[in-house]
Amino acid sequence: MTLAIGCALFAGILAVSAAGPVLVDVHTAIIGAEPPGMAPSASHPLGTDTQGRDLLTVLLLATPQTLKIGLLAGAVGLGAGVLLGLLAGYFSGAVDAVIRTSADVFTTIPSIAILVLLATYIRVVSVELMALIVASLAWPYPTRAIRAQVLSLRERAYVQVAILNGVRGVELIVTEVLPNLLPYIAASFVAVVSNAMLATIGLEILGLGPQNTFTLGTTIYWAQFYGAILRGMWWWWGPPIAVIVLIFLSLLMASAGMDRIVNKRLSTRA
């Protein structure tokens, strides 16, 4: 039930994000397009900012970009983690030592400090580049988790039978190990996407996000930059925070539901 609600909520957010930019006039998000500093009204449901941009339009343009960064960073980070985890867990020896040590080292380093440093020294940050910056530090956790699962699966009877039948190397990983990891990988993907979005939004609120693209984090950054909280302009910072809460709530519920399924399956197989 938790998984279904979380997936349905996230699917709804994705649907609105996909349809939103088509349903609004994107020109109202241009500076000076509307009267500045207007409170919510019938013509402007979320009001306008001090630059004269319609905030409903900004919100509908920013949400899909934030989701794109999180999903892309999660996919790249998890992909690298799964590959490294499979290699480390199956081949062990020197390969395992190098991958395990690298993952342990990067895990102990404060990731936010490195992300801030990278984002600071890159002059022009696009959505894709932002996702790659976050993904560059998203791989250690899935690497360690997948490695631990592979080490456990190597000792299972069906894997040993496959080895006795001559199945080895990449073929063994693809046919015997990887299919049994798919539920765990799905649960890990939700967790990695959540962490990637959290890191992305944190950088954007600090003013280190994409400069020429609307995102939820940059919307909050400009709201605090122009003192929207002190000026009582709740319609500027409130809606993006509400959308962020809904996104993380949906991911949290989906992750909790997947964890229950994965843990039940692992305990059954054990």
For residue 41, being part of any structural domain is answered with no
Nearest to 2 by CA among 228, 231, 261, 210: 261
Q: Which of 43-52, 136-145, 159-168, 205-214 has the lowest mean pLDDT?
A: 159-168
For residue 31, being part of any structural domain is answered with no
**What DSSP assignment string belongs to 104-136?**
HHHHHS-HHHHHHHHHHH-SS--HHHHHHHHHT
Residue 244's pLDDT band, with cuts at 50, 70 and 90, is very high
What is the residue range of 161's domain?
A: 2-11+46-269
For residue 225, being part of any structural domain is answered with yes
Q: Residue 268's pLDDT is what?
A: 52
For residue 69, being part of any structural domain is answered with yes
pLDDT digits (tens, 9 = 90+) for 2-25: 888 888 998 999 998 888 888 888
Q: Is the pLDDT of residue 269 over 70?
A: no
| Number of domains within the chain | 1
For residue 39, being part of any structural domain is answered with no
Q: Is the pLDDT of residue 55 over 90?
A: yes
Between CA 5 and CA 131, with CA 18 as vertex, the angle to 5 degrees is 90
Tabulate helix, strand, coil % of the chain (nearest 5). Answer: 75, 0, 25
What gap in Å lies between CA 264 and CA 105, rounded to an integer? 32
pTM of the entire predicted model? 0.83
For residue 115, being part of any structural domain is answered with yes
For residue 21, being part of any structural domain is answered with no
Q: Residue 63's pLDDT is what?
A: 92
Give the CATH number for residue 82: 1.10.3720.10
Q: Is the pLDDT of residue 120 over 80?
A: no
The answer for residues whose C-beta is within 8 angstroms of residue 61's C-beta and 6 or more apart is 20, 21, 24, 26, 29, 214
For residue 51, being part of any structural domain is answered with yes
Mean pLDDT score of the chain: 84
Residue type, 84: L
